[in-house]
Amino acid sequence: MARAKKEAREKLKNIIEACRDVEAGKADPFSIPVELLIEAVRALFPLWEEPEDLALDAEALEAISGVIRAQSEWVRERSTRLYRDPFLIEEKLAKVEPEELAKMFLKAWHPLVELEQLTLPSMEMALKYWSELPGKAEAPPEAGPGPPEPAEAVGPGLVPEEEIQDALEALWLELKEAARRGWVRYWDFVTADTYAETARRAYLTSFLITYGYASLSVDPLEGELVLKPRRRPRKKPKEKATSFVIPLAYEEWLSHVGQEG
């Protein structure tokens, strides 16, 4: 019973953290499954007896209400500004004849003219800046050999440039097959038998997310990263883009391989 309560408290804390990210502007309010969270809180309520647990339950409900408030504000803001979905506009433009589209472009086109030229004072400033850079007077010392890596370094060399598009398409199809419930855990998808292959899959997966083939989010109940494939890649994201770093240390790979085994 004590273990069940401990896991239940962790779920409430994950719910609160996910909802706070929305209030802080770090996450899209519509990425939070409000109905599922309410059902989860309702299912956990019979476990609580201590005042601290009841207070945590109330905090979770208050955090969920904040997400609902953010969703309401999002809808109200766009309705008052006559917001139009960019993908609907894109579909309408695709139906316009090229000649008509060119006329529309010419009517709305207001080109700017800018003249740039290199002057003698700017060349003198550049020369002074370059000559005063630290380390120009003496060559840097040669670096010694670094520690051996467990596998190839993570970087563009993992996939040849001419093959990256085919590799992305293949990985996208694999992701859609793996996400039978609509999503799949990030580490379950990228982890392979070798560290090099895991690094390659993680590298390609980052491109799938950047190019709109899939989305990356945090499961508010379990607190784990999940991947959701899209039926077609998005050219421009609806939500605000956020940079997210996922470290891939050798020890991290070993821990996930051990979990799979």
How does pLDDT run across 14-51, given as a tens digit for each residue?
A: 999 999 988 888 888 888 889 999 999 999 998 888 89
Query: What's the pLDDT at 49?
Result: 87
Query: What's the pLDDT at 145?
Result: 42
Query: What's the pLDDT at 80?
Result: 67
Query: What's the pLDDT at 41?
Result: 92
Query: What's the pLDDT at 15?
Result: 92
Query: What's the pLDDT at 241?
Result: 55
Query: What's the pLDDT at 237?
Result: 53
Which H, E and C letters describe the chain, residue by residue? CHHHHHHHHHHHHHHHHHHHHHHCCCCCHHHCCHHHHHHHHHHHHHHCCCHHHHHHHHHHHHHHHHHHHHHHHHHHHHHHCCCCCHHHHHHHHHHCCHHHHHHHHHHHCCCCCCCCCCCHHHHHHHHHHHHCCCCCCCCCCCCCCCCCCCCCCCCHHHCCHHHHHHHHHHHHHHHHHHCCCCCEEHHHHHCCCCHHHHHHHHHHHHHHHHCCCEEEEECCCCCCEEEEECCCCCCCCCCCCCCCCCCCCHHHHHHHHHHHC
Q: What is the pTM of this model?
A: 0.43
Query: What's the pLDDT at 259?
Result: 60
Number of residues that this document lists for the chain: 261
Residue 40 · residue 19 · CB < 8 Å:
no
Query: What's the pLDDT at 245?
Result: 67
Positions in the chain whose pLDDT score sits under 50: 136-156, 261
Look at the block and give the residue holding tokens 């050219």.
Answer: 235
- Tell me the β-bridge partners of 217: 226
Please name the amino acid found at residue 142.
E
92 to 78, 131, 213, 231: CA distances (angstroms): 20, 56, 22, 20
